[in-house]
Structure 1
Amino acid sequence: MRDVRSSPHLPAGGIEMPSSLTWLDHDAAAHARSTTLLALLDQPETRDELGIGGIRDALSDQLFPGTSVIQTRLRYMLLLPRLFIGLEASKVRARDFAERARQDELALNDRLADEEGAFGRDSGHKLKRLASSVYWAGMRSWGILARPGSQQDYFSAIAQIRSDRSSKLARDDGMEDLEPTAQTWHASLEKLVAPSALEEGSLSLTAEEARFIREQWKIHHPHTLLVWLAQDEVRLKECADARFPWLHPQMSTAPQPLRDLVEHARRFSGLAHGAALVYNLALAEASGNEDRRKEYSHALAAWIDGVPASGIGDWNVERFWEQVERAGRPVHARTREFVDAWLKLVRTGHADSPQSRKLVRDRERALKRTLSRFNAENLDRWGGASGLGVLNYRWGITRRHLADLLHGLEAA
């Protein structure tokens, strides 16, 4: 007889808690299945093969707004605005502004090259996507960038920005405006981040910078997990060992709305991982890869073993969909139908069945059409594992940002 129990840090009911499943019997087959599942949970693959990325992003935006999986270090949120503030005040011609910004940003990358998480460490000046494009939406979300529009819109408007600033400075009473950068960037940035910060080659926040960012989070996203974690230094420290947000030691003390959101995220993460296992198992069977078929068959069996303790049985899915829609990201009706159909199969004991294979096969074909890996001519495009990355809702980069924030606060 098998018994799958949660770790002490796991909220009641945990469908797929990496490194937290405890197998209490000595059944060799069961042990093999659990070992296989835990190994697969470590897969870094993040491809969205079954089209559920919109749901993942909707929950991520509610938990950790302004973040992105391709961000690296938190101080870029301040260094980049300081770079642009300096350029706005320079005599660089408007038509040359975008190219000069690129060159200055590449030079900044050179100075930061020895820092962990620095952009362009490997590609150097051949870097195609600069940090500014990665952080642009986040700077606006946190109230650091006050201007609407894309980065390209900003570059195109430089002449107008300068004109507006000149008009603002020429006040009727002859007094100098003390906040000349407020129309584009937060009014505090020019004093908060000295120009010398661009020369120092450091991605470590100062204490003042850390407090500023934390305050911006509180102002613009007051009821998020990001803010709740950041407001207490003990909670910040405990983020380091929490592999997923729901495994944070103090999650049970969070406000009820946050606990509800995290619990929805946890259950959907587990549900999505089960569908990914079926997807890869179906591909292994279609391609005749017997080794992979056994691997995914064992992993799916282990996943199914954990379903009774997962909370899926009494999960209020209508409230889940209501939670998802709060982000203002519409979920396509077919995506919702797919998730609901997969959940029904799991609840009725048909997770490992011809119906489940047909469900994922039809879903992937509807998304990819002629490029579907289930088409005979495309089977060799499957590398043996795809779409297995466990949804953590940008927790990896958020945890890095929170570590940077804590380091800055402790520098006081």
Structure 2
Amino acid sequence: MLNKSEMGWVDFSSEDRDRVRDVIKQLSEPGTLDELGIGALRDGFADLMFPGFSTIQTRAKYLITIPRIIRDYLALKPAQQRRQSLQQYLEQQENLLAKALTLQHLNEGVTGIIGSTMKDGESVARLPSSVYWVALRTWGIIDTQASLNQFLRSVKPAESSLGSKLPDEADDTDGVSADSRIHLDRYDPQWIEGVHITLSESEAVFLNHKLQNGPINSLPAQLELSGLLKEVLDEDLTGFAQLAGWVAATPGLAQRTRDTVKMAHSFSELIYGAHLRFNIVVARNNQREDLLDQYELLWCDWHKVPQAGPEQVSQWLAATNISLRGRTGTFLMEWSEHIANSVSVVVLDALVEKQALGNKKERSILKKRLPDNYRWIGMSRLDFRWAQVRTILRDIQEGLPC
């Protein structure tokens, strides 16, 4: 009998594998366990507000360095390309970049350098190109609908640096080259010498322009187009709830964007109550009277505030075009109905417990005895990637001319 589970990959695309890796990573981090199965709706709202961004992105600089590395490869002579594929070159240069940035900012307390903790002889565990590829496509920095692997395979080493075509471009009559699909502020073959994690003025202006011309109803595009980016960054909006309050009070943004933020915040608040009851159930099962008292007080405060009803839940699902797995959609409807009708906590706890067990089955936290010092389990109020987006937008804003 096997004592250890193993995972194998079906080779669909790098995005498919990255999505699974993200899930595995999240399961090892506090506050990300999706015990109630609402992650798809959370991600649906995040994709509307912050398309292309993810929770594992760190700094804006990688939106520049990845296309620079690809452009460097495309500038090589065909003979040099035949000796090394774009995939090999990209991996090599991204590892060199990690070392260069780490040395450049040594002992400066700089955060967000991918690969800064790797030791001699090691490689970056998660290359920036895989982390930022969707963002590069979404914001028009690299013009392609191909996955990262498809794009890398499409640039054949034996071809001219100006002659490589992508799978989705095969029928283009004008023969668009891979080189012309890479957009940058300027070509700088010496860019890696003295590279910094911060953006130059030219790079910041370029990314600022890309955000302005990105998905029109996304929050980054609206903040750029309305001239409100500096204002939102100057505010102490560290959490999504604070951001939602600011957006509600700011008429300069498109109504569709404001509506999306409002719906996302309402969803976060409604489902926070369910996660609160879930933690009360867990605390009761584990005889944690200290946590039980604490969470019951939080519940009393939460329950005083009016929450979204079933009609709003239907609007959320329509707006995000999300189909929730299993009976999660029914659970959301029933939860909102019960809250609107002030149903007893006995019924609420039974509903939450049923959903958790139906979602996770034998893997549910409810089936496990937890350590004596455990704290909050699973999700709390949702952030929708705002923390990561805020850092990247701040990088861009700080690089712009005064």
Q: What TM-score bracket applies, with the shorter chain setting the length?
A: 0.7 to 0.9
Equivalent residue, structure 2, for 1:214? 208
TM-score by length of 1: 0.76
CA shift digits 1:72-109 (9 cap, x unpaired): 11121111111122123331446654333222111101
Equivalent residue, structure 2, for 1:227? 221
Taking CA–CA contacts closer than 8 Å with sequence separation of 6 or more, which of the two structures ends up with the larger relative contact order?
1
Q: Which moved more, 1:237-246 or 1:59-68?
A: 237-246
Counterpart-to-counterpart distance in 2, 1:167 and 1:132 = 19
Counterpart-to-counterpart distance in 2, 1:112 and 1:50 = 40
The aligned runs of 1:365-380 (5 Å cut-off) are 365-375=357-367, 378-380=368-370
Query: Secondary structure at 2:159's aligned position in 1?
Result: helix
Query: Secondary structure at 1:346's aligned position in 2?
Result: helix
Query: Secondary structure at 1:60's aligned position in 2?
Result: helix
Residue 324 of structure 1 deviates from its aligned partner by 1.8
TM-score by length of 2: 0.78
Equivalent residue, structure 2, for 1:331? 324
Equivalent residue, structure 1, for 2:341? 348
Q: Do the aligned residues in 2 keep the contact of 1:77 with 1:139 (CA within 8 Å)?
A: yes
Q: Structure 1 residues 205 and 233, CA, compared in 2 at 3 Å: closer, same or farther?
A: farther
- Match among 84, 90, 111 for residue 116 of structure 1: 111
Residue 160 of structure 1 deviates from its aligned partner by 6.9
Counterpart-to-counterpart distance in 2, 1:151 and 1:255 = 32
1:144 aligns with 2:149: no
**Structure 2 unaligned runs (5+)?**
1-28, 166-173
Q: Structure 1 residues 314 and 361, CA, compared in 2 at 3 Å: closer, same or farther?
A: closer
Q: Do the aligned residues in 2 keep the contact of 1:239 with 1:248 (CA within 8 Å)?
A: no
- Match among 317, 320, 326 for residue 321 of structure 1: 317
Counterpart-to-counterpart distance in 2, 1:406 and 1:131 = 21
Moved >6 Å (runs of 4+): none
Q: Do the aligned residues in 2 keep the contact of 1:47 with 1:387 (CA within 8 Å)?
A: yes
1:62 aligns with 2:48: yes
- Structure 2 residue identity aligned to 1:195: P
Counterpart-to-counterpart distance in 1, 2:371 and 2:36 = 16
Counterpart-to-counterpart distance in 1, 2:91 and 2:216 = 34
Equivalent residue, structure 1, for 2:246? 248
Q: Which moved more, 1:277-286 or 1:341-350?
A: 341-350
Counterpart-to-counterpart distance in 1, 2:401 and 2:231 = 11
Q: Do the aligned residues in 2 keep the contact of 1:236 with 1:402 (CA within 8 Å)?
A: no
- RMSD over aligned CA atoms reads 2.8
Query: Secondary structure at 2:192's aligned position in 1?
Result: helix
The aligned runs of 1:75-94 (5 Å cut-off) are 75-90=61-76, 91-93=80-82
Counterpart-to-counterpart distance in 2, 1:317 and 1:380 = 33
Residue 255 of structure 1 deviates from its aligned partner by 2.3
1:192 aligns with 2:181: no
**Structure 1 unaligned runs (5+)?**
1-42, 169-176
Query: Secondary structure at 1:159's aligned position in 2?
Result: coil
Q: Structure 1 residues 164 and 102, CA, compared in 2 at 3 Å: closer, same or farther?
A: closer
Q: Do the aligned residues in 2 keep the contact of 1:233 with 1:406 (CA within 8 Å)?
A: no
Q: Structure 1 residues 162 and 210, CA, compared in 2 at 3 Å: closer, same or farther?
A: farther
Q: Sequence identity of aligned pairs in percent?
A: 28
